[in-house]
Amino acid sequence: MVQGRVMTVLGEVEPQQLGVTLTHDHILVDGWGLRQLYEAILDDEEIALAELIRFREAGGGTICDPTNNGLGRDPEALARLSRASGVQIVMGAGWYREVVYPPLVATTSTAALAAMLVREITDGVGDSGVRPGFIGEIGTERGHITPAVERVFRAAGRAHAETGVPILTHTTHWGELALDQLDLLAEEGVEPGAVIVSHLGDRKGVEHMLPIVDRGAWVNIDNLAFVQGYAPLEFRIDNITEMCRRGLADRVMLSNDICELGQLAAYGGVGYDNVITNVLPLLRERGVSEPDIHQMTVLNPARAFAFR
């Protein structure tokens, strides 16, 4: 992998080729292991293609898909969808959350897990030849980091040290343990600028995001397709606006985290184009400038997802 470039499912590209980028959205995903709901399974390629085309026609360029082991990652399908839709897709690697870890995580050393990641990043997943562009999403639960989760995070850190691959983390929708994640990765030599911390912005107020910015990591406000049962969209719009007001647009990225059928346009949801067609107009109404919008949707992803 060439330093400073981004790895898509169709090969390396220059960062400036990404265009408007969603930094945390699932295209094909199997969330059955999390909730035992068919709503959490996105496996129809025809529907996925139509949704991607809708995103592209709205002005979208790239989607970073954090579906990895434990979530039904399908590298060859993502490559097919990218070719057919014209949307660039950056694919994740690693192991999602302990509740859906495959058995091998419990019996494999940190060094061996890191070697698996390096092999995928350099050679591709299995025999597909499709290479991940980041490690993630890798997640913590509430309360504390367990030994198994620690091994996964340390393995990600070691794979980053060898390859320069960016790392994208999962926190709860309150951003719990985000600083602990950064501490753990730092112990493996990962600079915060290589880390994208996901699922932030749901609290009322930006205080939980400021220490992450102070460390130099990226803030992913990526729950923009979530409404029912979650914090209101108004909280997120307020928080994005406030981050821009504080001059911190250069650390913020935006996405939907689509992972359910009801969030797709085909099922009456907002679709992947939601950020472009719904969220950005709301931000403009709040006075967020075009340079800040461009920073969050184009320039920041181009930096965050480039190999170090």
* Annotated domain spans of the chain: 7-304
Indicate the pLDDT class of residue 229, thresholds 50, 70 and 90.
low
pLDDT, residue 267, reads 97
In tens, the pLDDT along 126-158 reads 999 999 999 999 999 888 999 999 999 999 999
Alpha helix (H) residue ranges in 87-144 = 104-107, 110-123
Please determine, for residue 7, whether its predicted confidence score (pLDDT) is greater than 90: yes
Please determine, for residue 104, whether its predicted confidence score (pLDDT) is greater than 70: yes
Q: How many alpha carbons lie under 13 Å from residue 91 in its C-beta half-sphere?
A: 32
pLDDT, residue 36, reads 84
Contact by Cβ (8 Å): 280, 293: yes
Q: What is the pTM of this model?
A: 0.97
CB-based burial, 80-114: b 16+ in 10 Å, e otherwise: ebbeebebbbbbbbbbbbbebbeeebeebebeebb
Locate 93 and state its tokens: 């690697």
pLDDT, residue 141, reads 87
H or E segment and range at residue 218: strand 218-221
Mean pLDDT across the chain: 96
Contact by Cβ (8 Å): 240, 252: yes
Contact by Cβ (8 Å): 39, 262: yes
CATH of domain 7-304: 3.20.20.140
Indicate the pLDDT class of residue 2, thresholds 50, 70 and 90.
low
In tens, the pLDDT along 144-195 reads 999 999 999 999 999 999 999 999 999 987 789 999 999 999 999 999 999 9
